[in-house]
Amino acid sequence: MKMHSQIGRNSAGPRESQRVLDQAEVLDRRDRLMQQPPSAERSAALTTIHAQLRSIDRRASRG
């Protein structure tokens, strides 16, 4: 059972990063996260969102 949850968590990662992210979508997800109580999971997700916003900014300034 533990292995199954591990597989689920791992498979979510690459798919998330390969998807071309829309800035509005990322900001919306950040707003939802900010409404949750602070936790390690939330701060990890916010870190990911910051990285995604930076990569979106780089794409926008380049193209």
pLDDT at 8: 46
- Using the predicted structure, report yes or no on whether residue 27 has a pLDDT greater than 70: yes
Domain region containing 33 = 21-63
Number of domains in the chain: 1
Q: Model-level pTM?
A: 0.54
Q: Is the residue at 15 inside a domain?
A: no
Q: Is the residue at 29 inside a domain?
A: yes
Question: 45-56 pLDDT, tens per residue?
Answer: 999 999 988 888
Q: Is the residue at 9 inside a domain?
A: no
Q: How confident is the model at residue 63 (pLDDT cuts 50, 70, 90)?
A: low
The better pLDDT of the pair 31, 3 is held by 31
Q: Is the residue at 47 inside a domain?
A: yes
What DSSP line would sit under 2-60, residue for residue? Answer: HHHHHHHHHHHHHHHHHSPPPHHHHHHHHHHHHTSPP-HHHHHHHHHHHHHHHHHHHHH
Q: What's the chain's average pLDDT?
A: 75
